[in-house]
């Protein structure tokens, strides 16, 4: 059983609904948001030019940098009086990307998250262990409202305190696990260390996302926990989690297309690509009130298909995200731009602007972030106490600035390789996509 009839509707019906909604959202964006009005005018477009879904290609793109330029509330289509919630994720500069919701947007979000959980046949009899972070991150509250909408029992455990999470999983006998894939593996590892067999618990399905993960990692998680591990996708700018979800067929993620209109474009030229070709996912929101977004360049690489799915849903499916077009790293579900690391480091007195960022997946599970940075000559030749203090200050600044902890290794002046061209700032040792996979 699907959650909403529209998920299995004939394509013509879905597309007719999309066009009606698209015309409305374009009109609203033009009328209410000066940023869009200016962008449309530059492109020589008026809302009446949108007569078919293909006409979407006439509209200009929106990018993450547009959120930064209009920080914090410049892209809203409503007054703050109508906003009932804000969330935020990392931006390309020091400032976060701020997103906002009206009461109806929260309803829409609960609806698409209920559909997501329903894709794994979650019902009111289930107990949902929700280890996505609660707070400005959209993961925790997004899953929470969807699970409540279904009537399931939510355990709002959030991230961290891993041993306690294992105890709660045992005692409450949760049947559904929601967290990032790397945390799912780490949880399994900690359970084993505590002498608890993860496969012996009551979990049967996991909704894992917020970061890229490979089919190999899926196999590993499914085996250790003896669950079906489903991939869920979303991003704050569009709504949070709830943009698309795998069903139990595990053959791609159904995009909830009556709310989010997807396209695939060539990341270099912006040309639209046909079904089946890999490119950058671009999304237009069709129903968002507070923050309608037109042709958002997600930076995520995937492909679309409208082939029928075994589950009966007719909504377009996207392949597992296979990478990103920019240098954004995702560490334990938190977005981190190398430029942010630089901004933070350069505010710490005593370090030099020569650094590398090393991302790894320790003990096969949790992502770790390590920053190697050169120190000034004076400090280096000084006593050890000062170095230890500098390391602490740098680690503190990174944790505050990035929202995720990083280990700092202070290295000798001139020991980090200098670059002749584009500096290679990041060494990513996680093999997230799994070698040899499409």
Contact residues toward ligand DLL (CB under 6 A) are: 89, 132, 138-139, 209-212, 231-236, 240-241, 298-300, 321, 324, 330, 335
144 class by beta-carbon count within 10 Å (0-12 exposed, 13-18 middle, 19+ buried)? buried
CA distances from 329 to 256, 320, 384, 438 (A): 26, 17, 32, 20
CA atoms within 13 A on the CB side of 372: 14
| The pairing of beta strand 176-179 with beta strand 153-155 | unpaired
CA angle 400, 405, 411 (to 5 degrees): 100
Tell me the residue nearest to ligand DLL as measured from the CB: 209
Q: Judged by CB, which is closer to ligand DLL: 50, or 122? A: 122
Q: Least distance from C-beta 352 to ligand DLL, angstroms?
A: 31
Q: Judged by CB, which is closer to ligand DLL: 146, or 292? A: 146
265 within 8 A of 279, measured Cβ to Cβ: yes
Q: Judged by CB, which is closer to ligand DLL: 3, or 67? A: 67
How far is the C-alpha of 179 from the C-alpha of 181, rounded, in Å? Answer: 6
Q: Judged by CB, which is closer to ligand DLL: 86, or 387? A: 86
Q: Judged by CB, which is closer to ligand DLL: 30, or 132? A: 132
Q: Least distance from C-beta 427 to ligand DLL, angstroms?
A: 19
The SS3 of residue 119 is coil
Q: Least distance from C-beta 155 to ligand DLL, angstroms?
A: 16
Q: What are residue 355's DSSP bridge partners?
A: 373
* Number of residues that this document lists for the chain: 438
Q: Judged by CB, which is closer to ligand DLL: 132, or 337? A: 132
How far is the C-alpha of 289 from the C-alpha of 82, rounded, in Å? Answer: 10
Q: Least distance from C-beta 301 to ligand DLL, angstroms?
A: 9
How far is the C-alpha of 173 from the C-alpha of 185, rounded, in Å? Answer: 18
Q: Judged by CB, which is closer to ligand DLL: 241, or 262? A: 241
Q: Least distance from C-beta 348 to ligand DLL, angstroms?
A: 26
Tokens of 423: 């500096």
124 class by beta-carbon count within 10 Å (0-12 exposed, 13-18 middle, 19+ buried)? exposed
Q: Least distance from C-beta 126 to ligand DLL, angstroms?
A: 18
Phi (first) and psi of residue 150, to 5 degrees: -70, -25
Q: Judged by CB, which is closer to ligand DLL: 281, or 397? A: 281
Q: Least distance from C-beta 416 to ligand DLL, angstroms?
A: 28
How far is the C-alpha of 343 from the C-alpha of 361, rounded, in Å? Answer: 24
How far is the C-alpha of 416 from the C-alpha of 378, rounded, in Å? Answer: 18
Instruction: List the alpha helices (DSSP H) in 176-228.
Output: 181-193, 215-225
Q: Judged by CB, which is closer to ligand DLL: 285, or 298? A: 298
Q: Least distance from C-beta 125 to ligand DLL, angstroms?
A: 23
Q: Least distance from C-beta 268 to ligand DLL, angstroms?
A: 19
């Amino acid at each position: 059983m699907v959650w909403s009839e529209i998920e299995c509707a004939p394509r013509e019906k879905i597309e007719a609904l999309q066009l009606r909604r698209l015309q409305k959202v374009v009109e609203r964006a033009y009328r209410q948001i000066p940023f869009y009005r200016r962008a449309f005018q530059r492109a020589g477009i008026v809302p009446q030019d949108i007569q078919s879904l293909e006409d979407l290609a006439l509209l200009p793109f929106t990018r993450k940098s547009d959120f930064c330029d209009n920080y914090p509330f410049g892209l809203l289509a409503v007054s703050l009086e109508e906003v009932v919630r804000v969330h935020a994720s990392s931006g390309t500069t020091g400032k976060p990307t701020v997103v906002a919701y009206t009461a109806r947007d929260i309803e829409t979000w609960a609806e698409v998250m209920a559909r997501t959980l329903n894709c794994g046949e979650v019902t009111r009899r289930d107990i949902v262990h929700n280890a996505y972070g609660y707070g400005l991150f959209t993961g925790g509250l997004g899953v929470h409202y969807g699970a409540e909408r279904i009537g399931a029992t939510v355990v709002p455990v959030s991230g961290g305190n891993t041993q306690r999470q294992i105890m709660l999983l045992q005692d409450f006998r949760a049947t559904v696990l929601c967290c990032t894939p790397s945390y799912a593996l780490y949880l399994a590892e900690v359970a084993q260390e505590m002498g608890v067999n993860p496969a012996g618990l009551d979990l049967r399905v996991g909704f894992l996302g917020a970061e890229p993960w490979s089919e190999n990692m899926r196999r590993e998680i499914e085996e250790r926990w003896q669950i079906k591990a489903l991939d869920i996708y979303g991003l704050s700018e569009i709504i949070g989690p709830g943009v698309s979800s795998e069903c139990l067929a595990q053959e791609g993620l159904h995009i909830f297309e009556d709310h989010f209109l997807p396209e695939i474009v060539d990341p270099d030229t912006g040309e639209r690509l046909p079904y089946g070709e890999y490119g950058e996912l671009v999304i237009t929101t069709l129903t968002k009130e507070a923050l309608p977004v037109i042709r958002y360049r997600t930076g995520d690489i995937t492909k679309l298909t409208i082939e029928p799915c075994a589950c009966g849903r007719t909504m377009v499916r996207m392949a597992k995200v296979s990478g990103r077009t920019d240098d954004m790293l995702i560490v334990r579900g938190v977005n981190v731009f190398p430029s942010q690391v630089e901004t933070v480091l350069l505010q710490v007195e005593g370090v030099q602007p020569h650094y590398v960022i090393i991302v790894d997946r320790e003990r096969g599970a949790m992502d770790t972030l390590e920053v190697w940075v050169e120190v000034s000559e004076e400090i280096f030749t000084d006593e050890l106490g000062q170095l230890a203090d500098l390391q602490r200050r740098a680690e503190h600044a990174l944790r505050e600035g990035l929202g995720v902890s990083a280990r700092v290794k202070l290295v000798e002046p001139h020991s980090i390789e200098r670059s002749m061209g584009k500096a290679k700032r990041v060494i990513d040792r996680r093999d997230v996509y799994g070698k040899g996979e499409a």
